[in-house]
Each structure stands twice: as structure tokens, then as C-alpha cells.
Amino acid sequence: MRFLKNITATALSALLFISFSYGQTGFDSALKFNKTIHNFGKISINDGERQCTFEFTNVSQKPVVINNIISSCGCAQPEWPKKPIMPGEKGEIKVTYLNDQGPYPFEKNITVYTSASRKPVILRISGIAYEKEKSLKELFPITVGPLGIMKNNIGAGQIEQGYAKSGSISIANFSQKAVEVKFADMDKGLSLKASPAIIEAGEVGEITYRIDTREALHWGNTAYSATLVCNGVKADTRLKINCMIIDDISSLTAEEKNSGSMILARNSSVTLNLKRGAVAEGVFSLRNTGAGNLVIHKADTNGDKFEIEYPQEEIRPGENFEIKARIDTGGISGEKIYTITLVTNSPKRPLVNLFVAIETE
């Protein structure tokens, strides 16, 4: 019973994450922006509200209406033109950051919905608000050569296959001289740019990243990485950006979604009581209850001693199938719960979580 409660809590957490992060995917649109990210840098909480502007041009052949803009926080308030933007016409979205959330690093998303696409455009503001200014090394605890970053593993959320997504992270120059920042050994599909390209001593800059899934085919949990080159010297630590790549489903009509595949798990969790060091197998029974063929692109797991076996061929409507998880419990002690995430072509359930609970003696 304890395992089932834990599994339920884990499942709810995963579903909340999926629901939240899905709307954050950013895509190109008929409105071409001069930038999609603005970093305020370091600001005091006593500075009051701050403003920035995102300029755009309608590069399409039709008028475009900004239907709505939703901020991820009430502390970031957008203003935008309410009339149609004609082809070739320029405009701007002004964002006011109220700066009333207290001292902390912040990052807020501004989701722009237009008449030109079902895909929203994601704008982002970020910065570091402080009450008593901290040292750069306190704010940027991860050292990469002469630079500091807040964290080495950056989460980029979900990206639909065939699209791109951008984001940014702040970097600080710890050294006593200017540092020219370049990049090497970038994974295919990843592009990076430092702004400014030369960061003065004691100053804060920004790295903007772009992940383009069209460059290389990946599914599920995917890590992109690159090496920072500081004044011509490669840093020992690679910069890593993690994302979840799923099927492109948001552009489908309701009819297309209803005619797609659908997964029903007859058991979404298994509990294994084992002696430490034993190898065991958990089996999940599932069925394609949809109207279309089911494809499992990938099976991810957060357990490093798992072997996942799943169908490699298309699964026809009404067909039953199994997912097998073989676990080596060597090094595992006590109670553990692991998640298996199936990345599928199902329009209504592109991600399916299965859970393995292990108790070792």
C-alpha cells in the first residue's frame, strides 16, 4: 500500500510536469521577433519595476492578430497591439516586470497566441533580483574555466519533433581579465551564442541556446552538449541542455486525434520483492485501444540498471502487447521506485508512465 501511494504521488507529479511544460514549447511563426529573450541582469529589489520591449515584423502575406498573451507569473505584465498587424508591418510587445517577488534569480515565460498558427511564440525574461548583493561565486556556483554558471544541466522542457526551441542562461566572468567565449564540439541540432562575445572581468553575460530537432532525429529524454572555449582554451566541463522530444500532435485536428492510436495499460505498476543483487523482470500488459497504428518511439527510464524491451514494429488497433523491464538490483538497497516513460505517436497520450517498485532484502 505504501508503494501504491508513492507511485500515485509520482504519477501525479509527472502529469503536472507534462501539462505545465507542454505549453512552453516555442516555435517560429508569422511574426518575426528581433529577440525572444531579455535578460535584465542583476537588479536590486529596491529598483522598482523594470520594462523591456520585444519588437516584431509580420513576415507573412496575411494580416495577423495577437489573440492573447499569457504570462507565467502575474509579476510579468505584457502589453500588445489589439488591431491586426498587416503584412510587412512592425509592432512591439512591452513587458513590465514588477520586481516584487523578493531576492532570487527569476525566469518568466510570456506565451503569445496569434491567428497565424496553433503554435504559440514563447518570449522569456530573466535576471537576478537581490536585496543584499552577493558575490558572483555565490550566485554562479558551477565553475567552467574562468566562468561561472548557476547549473550545468539546463532543462529545456518539451519540444515537438520537427520544431525548434530557444532559451538562455546567465554566465559570469570570475577572472581578472576579459574572456572571449566561443563553443566547440557542439552536438548536432544545438547552436549557442554568447552575448556579449567578450565578457569583461567581474561582469555577467548570457548564453543563448537553440535546439533544432530537424537537424538530428531523437526521441524522449535527449541531452545536447558543447564545450565552452574561453580565450582559446577548452573548459573541462561540458555544458549540457536536456529536453524531452515528443511527436508533433498540437497541429492535429480533433478528428485526427480521435482516429489515432491510444494506449490502455492493464497494469501501470509492478512491485518486486527481491534479494539484493538479484536480477528480476517486471512485465506490463498493454493494449492499443485506438483507431490507428501505435508506434513506440522510445522507452526511457530513470534507472541506470534497467533493460527495457518493447515492440519495435507498429501495433495494430485492438492488439495486445507487453513491456518488459529487467532490473539488476546490485547496489540497490531498501525501497526504490523507478519510472519508465514510453514516448509514443498517440495524439492523446504521447507520454505514458509505468512504475517499478523494488524492495530489496
Residue by residue, DSSP assigns 118-152 as SSPEEEEEEEEEESSPPPHHHH--EEETTEEES-S
What values do phi and psi take at 317, rounded to 5? -55, 135
Average pLDDT, the chain: 85
Q: What is the pLDDT of residues 99-124, one digit of tens each?
A: 988 888 888 989 999 998 877 888 98
Bond before 196 cis per omega within 30 degrees: yes
Please give the share of the chain, as a percent, with pLDDT higher than 90.
52
Distance CA(171)–CA(107), nearest Å, equals 14
Q: Is the pLDDT of residue 18 over 70?
A: no
pLDDT (mean) for 146-164: 87
Most confident option among 10-19, 69-78, 113-122: 69-78
Name the residue with higher pLDDT: 137 or 247: 247
Q: What is the pLDDT of residues 335-355, one digit of tens each?
A: 888 899 999 999 999 999 999
Q: What end-to-end distance do the CA atoms of the chain give, in Å?
A: 18
Q: Is the pLDDT of residue 250 over 80?
A: no
Distance CA(26)–CA(37), nearest Å, equals 11
Among 254, 252, 223, 251, CA closest to 239: 223
Q: Is the pLDDT of residue 241 over 90?
A: yes
Confidence of residue 157 (pLDDT cuts 50, 70, 90): confident
The whole-number pLDDT of residue 177 equals 94
Confidence of residue 58 (pLDDT cuts 50, 70, 90): very high
What values do phi and psi take at 217, rounded to 5? -85, 115
pTM given for the model: 0.74
Instruction: List CB contacts of 34: < 8 A, sequence separation 6 or more.
Output: 54, 55, 56
Domains of the chain: 27-132 (2.60.40.10), 134-250 (2.60.40.10), 252-360 (2.60.40.10)
SS3 188: coil
Confidence of residue 322 (pLDDT cuts 50, 70, 90): very high
pLDDT (mean) for 250-276: 87
Confidence of residue 291 (pLDDT cuts 50, 70, 90): very high
Confidence of residue 15 (pLDDT cuts 50, 70, 90): very low
- What's the per-residue H, E or C state across 60-115? CCCCECEEEEEECCCCEEEECCCCCECCCCEEEEEEEECCCCCCEEEEEEEEEEEC
Strand ordering across the sheet containing 179-184: 153-160, 233-246, 220-230, 179-184, 198-199
pLDDT (mean) for 180-187: 96
